[in-house]
Structure 1
Amino acid sequence: SDGHPDYVDFVEKTERKRFSYFDYAKRFDAIFYEPDYWAHVFRKSGAQYVVLTSKHHEGFCNWDSRDIPTTWNWNVMDVGPRRDVLGDLSVAVKNVTSPYTHKRLKFGVYHSLFEWFNQAYRQDQATNFTRQDFVNQKTLPELYDLVNRYEPEILWSDGSLDADSDYWKSTEFLAWYATESSVAETAVWNDRWGRDSMCKHGGFLTCQDRYQPGKLIPQKWENALTIDTTSWGWNRNSTYEQYLTTEQLIHTLVETVAFNGNMLLNVGPRADGGLPAIFIDRLYGIGEWLSVNGPAIYGTQPWDVAQHEPSQNTYYTTKNGFLYAIFTEWPDDDALELKFPTPTEHTIISMIGYTDRVPYADILGGGVKIYLPVLTPDIVPCEHAWVLSISHVAELDHHHHHHHEGDEDTRTQ
């Protein structure tokens, strides 16, 4: 066998002899797959959109792709679940509304352009991608089919890096998606549509997996990461320690949003369609935090003055003239000394989820010292990170003073 030794050992240890990759498809029976329950979990997590893998690099189609002859016997209708796994989730997700933003959840599709084991692809590659048989007979028919059938408002492309976007005909397809498809008005897509587009062109940039630039990126970007640090699927080998904690995930969310990103968090279902409880635990933990602190995350923008004060473990976001300071560690002396916000005579500071005002003092030479309340367990609003809402900061306030009441309502987020 010429596979990766670790994987060969795993299959030999766990399966009968002469077990091929194809045999795994029969294992994928999805008997405990409950798309409505998945949608409920994702809704409660605070997620605003859900992206399902329609096809990964091994080419197996998770939707009813039977209209495309080149997907024969390697899709969920012909082998394995014998149900439209993707279609059922798309219906379930579009039917639920976020409890935190009261917006309908959006459905998106991940799709790998290339395939590991496809002869047509290998033959195109052998011509240095001058021939496009694989694209014409497989990639494009799949993409058009997915959009026409399921109307996804997000397309998350992957597996494009062997060739330029010309080979994949990406521009031609995306022009159709953005102007003529049934979701043209709301459609967004990522940057993985060819070697020449990765991290450059797209509605949002993903650049690399687990992308965290650590600074403000002016173009909208997304951090796609996994709860199980070892895998983008279900890894039966994983130990408890290999899963990110709820706190790590919340801190990642805060850092990502402060720098103008979104977080796309991967969970790995089992072959029987079940969603392991550890993923649900993490999702609910994030949701619990967002149920309190959502106002500092949803619909916010990064603060152009500063995004992060590392010495205070504090990140900033803004919305509707408010500055939100999100701190991920409680300071030893119960005081936060922030360099960047300048309070004015109108400034009020409060903590989201806590009733009383929070006292503060100007720091000579700029900044503000905030005296945090003593939070006993019965009144602490949340765990893992806390949010101060700061009104009338000089840096955000200068263009408000001369407005009449109500003028601010015309600004859109």
Structure 2
Amino acid sequence: MKVSRRKFSKGMVLAATGVAVAGRQALAQLKGEHIDTTAKAKHPVPSIQDTETKAERDARLHWFREARFGMFIHWGLYAIPAGRWDGKEVPSTGEWIMNTASIPVADYKALAPQFNPTEFSAERVVSLAKTAGMKYIVITAKHHEGFAMFESKADPFNIVEATPYKKDPIRALASECRKQGIKLGFYYSQDQDWTAPGGAAYKTGDHKPPTYHWDPAQDGSFADYLHKKCIPQLEELLSNYDEAPAILWFDTPTSDMTPELGSEVVKVLNKHPKLIWNNRLGGGYAGDTETPEQFIPPNGYPGKDWESCMTMNDTWGYKSGDNNFKSAETLLRNLIDIASKGGNYLLNIGPKATGEVPQPEVERLEAMGRWLSVNGEAIYGTTPTLFGAEAGEFSKTEKEKDGSPKFVDAWKWRSTTKANEIYIHLFEWPGGSFKLDSVPRTVTGAYLLADGKPLEVKHTGNGVEVALPAKPLDSVATVLVLKTA
């Protein structure tokens, strides 16, 4: 039986600090929700996370923890309608148009012969990620629409067999990522599949339980779908692209993915011991990473690996009418905030049906790359802040809709850490000096990362005061480095 997010939450989700945004079923782990995998019974098939030692896990996750910044790519047939169907704007994110507009399977599959992204360039996409300072890419190999963006012998609804393009962009990306030294991961919608018989679907509008399907062509056995399409395609993705994928990114688990069926997927994953996969498989499997979506948790997830996935505008898949782009300053401060809490930032682009990356996305990534070319040392390979109060505090009076205290962000500064450095990312210039009342290390020197010139340091009890120039060196964030012993 398929369940909505709210019904599913009774068994799989624990309320945290907020509430879901109305009408946004597309978000798989919303603000204030946390996919809980701790209360499940013993897994029918132990995963690698169940059996590895801490040292083995640290080695497997090492590159991910060092990376801090990655590119998400949502690209599929949904880029053709680009948010419009039957001449009307569809009120959802671009990649959810089939579900939100209740498009019949045959009508949606008819988009495939129109898909010919001749402007796609793996070299340009990977170069853009590298220019932006990103260390890895995760692309939608198959989203909920069921269309495979790779060559698949398991199912003919794929870009090589069903479109005039006849090429495998995943293979091109894998080759280019190897060449440019970028890790490549694959998003795969293991549970929802709106064009395969038996695939799950989330509730939208008047879609009826128990399946929430809107077309009889979607009906069938979920177990059959899993064994005939999902698992064979996962085996293809895990075997056909050399060392890729470094990551498998699952999404939107429903109660159809029982522990027993989840274990069938895990049998496949266990054959790839270096693989990193997230907490969205279902069946009670925790995976490796927490996946807050479209928000940054106030305190991160201490002791856990996590990654905030976020859009630049309001959609994941390309939507021609969505020009509500965040500024490069906001995106950079998100990155700094996330790194200060020990997480990674997976920032999305949504290519057009032609394969081109929208220019506003290119411009913002290039701007982020310019800042990171100077200040990347304060992001990559860092650990969380030694302080914490600088991020803000929970209000004593303001409440979220669920009654929990509202977190009120503060945006004066953030901090990241390495073995012999404390990095202070200054958003607001504090004037002639920066003061810390207490520092849990001995500060031996200070300078601004942008120019390296020594700064005067005064020790004040357990704290320090560092003399600063009259003006910041960067309007987004100037990084003060405290050398420590």
- Using structure 2 for the length normalisation, give the TM-score: 0.67
Q: 2:382, 2:418 within 8 Å by CA — same for their partners in 1?
A: yes
Identify the residue that residue 50 of structure 1 maps to in structure 2.
137
- 2:163 pairs, out of 58, 65, 79, with 79
SS, match of residue 94 in structure 1: helix
SS, match of residue 111 in structure 2: helix
1:287 is displaced (CA, Å) by 0.9
- Supply the AA of the counterpart residue of 1:187: L
RMSD over aligned Cα atoms? 3.0
Q: 1:258, 1:316 within 8 Å by CA — same for their partners in 2?
A: yes
Cα distance in 1 for residues equivalent to 2:130 and 2:83: 39
**Count of residues in Structure 1 that have an aligned counterpart in Structure 2:** 355
- 1:269 pairs, out of 341, 344, 351, with 351
Q: Where do 1:282-361 residues align within 5 Å?
A: 282-306=364-388, 308=390, 310=392, 313-331=412-430, 333-341=431-439, 344=442, 347-361=444-458
SS, match of residue 355 in structure 1: coil
Identify the residue that residue 386 of structure 1 maps to in structure 2.
478
1:263 is displaced (CA, Å) by 0.5
Cα distance in 2 for residues equivalent to 1:195 and 1:330: 49
SS, match of residue 159 in structure 1: coil
Q: 2:311, 2:347 within 8 Å by CA — same for their partners in 1?
A: yes
Identify the residue that residue 222 of structure 1 maps to in structure 2.
307
Change (3 A) 1:238 1:9: closer
Q: Where do 1:230-249 residues align within 5 Å?
A: 230-239=314-323, 242-249=324-331
- Supply the AA of the counterpart residue of 1:328: F
Change (3 A) 1:319 1:51: same
2:113 paired with 1:61:
no
- Using structure 1 for the length normalisation, give the TM-score: 0.78
Cα distance in 2 for residues equivalent to 1:189 and 1:276: 29
Cα distance in 2 for residues equivalent to 1:9 and 1:121: 23
- Supply the AA of the counterpart residue of 1:32: E
Cα distance in 2 for residues equivalent to 1:43 and 1:95: 12
Cα distance in 2 for residues equivalent to 1:46 and 1:8: 28
- 1:145 pairs, out of 223, 233, 236, with 236
1:174 is displaced (CA, Å) by 3.4
- 1:280-312 deviation per Cα after TM superposition (whole angstroms, max 9, x unaligned): 111111111111111111111113453735467
Q: 2:414, 2:425 within 8 Å by CA — same for their partners in 1?
A: yes
Farther off after superposition, 303-312 or 28-37: 303-312
Q: 1:312, 1:338 within 8 Å by CA — same for their partners in 2?
A: no
Q: 1:343, 1:368 within 8 Å by CA — same for their partners in 2?
A: no
Q: 2:149, 2:158 within 8 Å by CA — same for their partners in 1?
A: no
- 1:89-124 deviation per Cα after TM superposition (whole angstroms, max 9, x unaligned): 11111210xxxxxxx21110000012123322369x
1:79 is displaced (CA, Å) by 1.7
1:188 is displaced (CA, Å) by 0.9
Percentage of matched positions with identical amino acids = 26
Cα distance in 2 for residues equivalent to 1:157 and 1:352: 38
Q: 1:130, 1:167 within 8 Å by CA — same for their partners in 2?
A: no
Cα distance in 1 for residues equivalent to 2:307 and 2:386: 19
Cα distance in 2 for residues equivalent to 1:93 and 1:9: 30
Cα distance in 2 for residues equivalent to 1:87 and 1:9: 28
SS, match of residue 347 in structure 1: strand
2:188 paired with 1:115:
no
Q: 1:307, 1:317 within 8 Å by CA — same for their partners in 2?
A: no
- 1:136-192 deviation per Cα after TM superposition (whole angstroms, max 9, x unaligned): 1111111111010123111111132343452543x44335434x33xx3x3211111
- 1:37-75 deviation per Cα after TM superposition (whole angstroms, max 9, x unaligned): 11111111111101110011010000001x11xx22444
SS, match of residue 186 in structure 2: strand
Change (3 A) 1:225 1:76: farther
- Supply the AA of the counterpart residue of 1:161: T
Q: Which runs of 5+ in 2 are unaligned?
A: 1-23, 25-80, 90-103, 202-209, 212-219, 393-409
Q: Where do 1:11-30 residues align within 5 Å?
A: 11-13=85-87, 20-30=107-117
Identify the residue that residue 409 of structure 1 maps to in structure 2.
none
Identify the residue that residue 84 of structure 2 maps to in structure 1.
10
Q: Which runs of 4+ in 1 moved over 6 A?
A: none
SS, match of residue 116 in structure 1: coil
Structure number with higher strand proportion: 2
Change (3 A) 1:329 1:371: same
Q: 2:82, 2:320 within 8 Å by CA — same for their partners in 1?
A: no
Cα distance in 2 for residues equivalent to 1:261 and 1:213: 10
- Supply the AA of the counterpart residue of 2:433: A
Q: 1:168, 1:193 within 8 Å by CA — same for their partners in 2?
A: no
Change (3 A) 1:259 1:327: same
Identify the residue that residue 183 of structure 2 maps to in structure 1.
106
Q: 1:30, 1:272 within 8 Å by CA — same for their partners in 2?
A: yes
Q: Which runs of 5+ in 1 are unaligned?
A: 97-103, 398-413
2:123 paired with 1:39:
no
Q: 2:185, 2:247 within 8 Å by CA — same for their partners in 1?
A: yes
SS, match of residue 30 in structure 1: coil
Q: Which has the higher contact order (CA 8 A, sep 6+)?
A: 2
Q: 2:318, 2:351 within 8 Å by CA — same for their partners in 1?
A: yes
- 1:157 pairs, out of 250, 255, 278, with 250
Cα distance in 1 for residues equivalent to 2:447 and 2:82: 57
2:463 paired with 1:367:
yes
Q: 1:349, 1:391 within 8 Å by CA — same for their partners in 2?
A: yes
Cα distance in 2 for residues equivalent to 1:356 and 1:51: 38
Cα distance in 2 for residues equivalent to 1:233 and 1:319: 36
Cα distance in 1 for residues equivalent to 2:137 and 2:130: 9
2:340 paired with 1:252:
no
Identify the residue that residue 89 of structure 1 maps to in structure 2.
173
Identify the residue that residue 411 of structure 1 maps to in structure 2.
none
Cα distance in 2 for residues equivalent to 1:252 and 1:9: 27
Cα distance in 1 for residues equivalent to 2:440 and 2:142: 51
- 2:288 pairs, out of 185, 191, 203, with 203
